Every structure is written in structure tokens, then in C-alpha cells.
Amino acid sequence: MKPVSVPFEILISTMFRSDLSFLETMFPNGDYSVYPILIINQTDTAQLLVSTQANVRIINTEERGLPQSRNMAIQNAIGEVCLVADDDVMYVPDLQSIVLGGYTTYPDAVVVTFQLQKTNGTLFRKYPVVTKHTNASYKTVNGVVISFKKDVLLDKDVLYNPHFGLGATFSGANEYVFMRNVMKAKLPAYFVSAVILTHPEVSSGQDLGSDRLLFLRGGLAYKCYGIWSYLWVLKYVFFLVRHQIIKTKYAFAKAKKGFSGIKKYKQLVASGQERR
């Protein structure tokens, strides 16, 4: 029997945890007792996570992939408003009031996103000057500042795409594709210019010239642009060469890797596993 609904819940994705000590660094003064928390721990039977805290629920699963973890959290959440989380963030003291305040300010909101900062106290990125998300602004959203009304997402069947995200076919763009789904479903999504957490500066999305990213961006380009994705890949490789991120002699190989991402995405569509 699922526990009674709560106004706010934090949904944490993690892997191979055997104790709750990591929560102490996530919350001010190590006090996480005031927050309802659901942890999706992707692990194996030899390393299960157990909670002795009434406010912390845990699902141990052998399933793999960040989007799979996010979706399992949404489907088992009890929060009216939920906040997506990873295990390496550090929250501000007034987290809950900031998040729920966004829904007080924008009563029609289904999704509200926020700001995060680096460990040196500066903003993680340049944020758009908007209140309601547009087809341009949602592209700047980071994964750990997304909150939502869980029941509406489930009712509208808006979840994370299982093929995009760490551990999936395309290793990235998890939040981008999710927010794109939100916008396509015409769900009201807002941005509040308030910092809710600190996040390490290293990002898996910064390896601009890697084969992993070329493959990802090829697949993502086809999802977004269809046949024009081939031209998009060529323009992206030209960008990498022009900014000296890769050497000219590697341009053909990088374009080929991008095209292989397109090919893989088209295979997913043809097999019925994915739709544009």
C-alpha cells in the first residue's frame, strides 16, 4: 500500500549505495529528516540499501539507466510536487519554501525549474530572462532543478525518454528531451530565478568533441530535425574544427560517428521503440 500523499518530495537517483550517509552532505547541517525522500538505488542483490528513517523510502532495483531511474521515481512518488535529484548536489536551507513558492506564484504550473550554482558560488550558467518557458529557454534547463506535479505528468503520460540519459542508448540529453516532451504536451512550465542547490562543476556534457557526444547529438538531431539532421551534424563538426576542439584530420571520423547516431535512432523508430 502506497503511503499517504505529501505536499513535497525529493526523488533521488543513485547507484550501489549501502547506507544513507550520502544524504548528510546533500542537506544543510546534515539534517534531511524534514524532507520526504524517495531513493531509487540501482544496484544488485549483494548491495541493498535499507532505510531506518520514516521520511526516507527506498526502491532497490537491478534496472539500469538514468531515465529508467527517473521514471521509476515518478511512478512511485507520493509528493504532490516532486523535485528531481542526484546524489551529488547540496541544497540551500529554504529549499522547500522556494520550490513550493514557485507553484504559489504560478498556480497553473505543472513544471517549475530553478537555478543552480557552482561550488565557488557563481551561477552554473547564464539563465534566460523569462518566467514562462519558451522553445528556446527550456534548452537551458539542468536535470537537478526540475520540479513537477507528478499526477499531471502521469495523467498526460509525460515521462523521461528511456533512450536518452546516462546508461541509455544515447548517453545524455535526459533533461532536454524531458522538457521537450513537456513543451510538446503544452504543459505550463515556468522558470524561477532562485538558486536551490550547489552542484560540482564537472559535467559529462562538456566533452564536446567526444565520440559519445557525436553519437548522442546525431540521434538527438534526427529526433528534432529529421532528414535535416545530416546537415546539422556536418555543421556541428565544422564548429568543432573552427574552434579547434578537434583537428581537421578527425572531421570525417567525427561526422561518421554523428551519422551512426542518426542510423541508430532511425532503427529505434523503425522497430517501434521510439517515436519522433
How much is the pLDDT for 1? 62
Measured distance CA(46)–CA(69) in Å, rounded: 19
Q: Is 168 exposed, middle or buried (0-12, 13-18, 19+ CB in 10 A)?
A: buried
Q: Is the pLDDT of residue 201 over 80?
A: no
Q: 161 vs 47, 89, 141, 243, CA distance in Å?
A: 27, 23, 16, 31
Measured distance CA(242)–CA(117) in Å, rounded: 30
Annotate 106-164 with DSSP letters as a single string: STT-SEEEEEEE-TTSSBSSPPPS-SB--TTGGGG--GGGEEEEHHHHHHHT----TTB
**CATH homologous superfamily of domain 6-204?**
Spore Coat Polysaccharide Biosynthesis Protein SpsA; Chain A (3.90.550.10)
- pLDDT band for position 2 (50/70/90)? low
What are the tens digits of pLDDT across the range 120-146? Answer: 989 999 999 999 999 999 999 999 999
Amino acid at 7: P
Query: At how many degrees (to 10) do helices 66-76 and 174-184 cross?
Result: 50
Q: Is the pLDDT of residue 252 over 60?
A: yes
- pLDDT band for position 202 (50/70/90)? low
Mean pLDDT computed over every residue of the chain: 94
- pLDDT band for position 204 (50/70/90)? very low
Q: What are the extents of the domains in the chain?
A: 6-204, 207-270
Per-residue pLDDT, averaged over 178-199, amounts to: 96
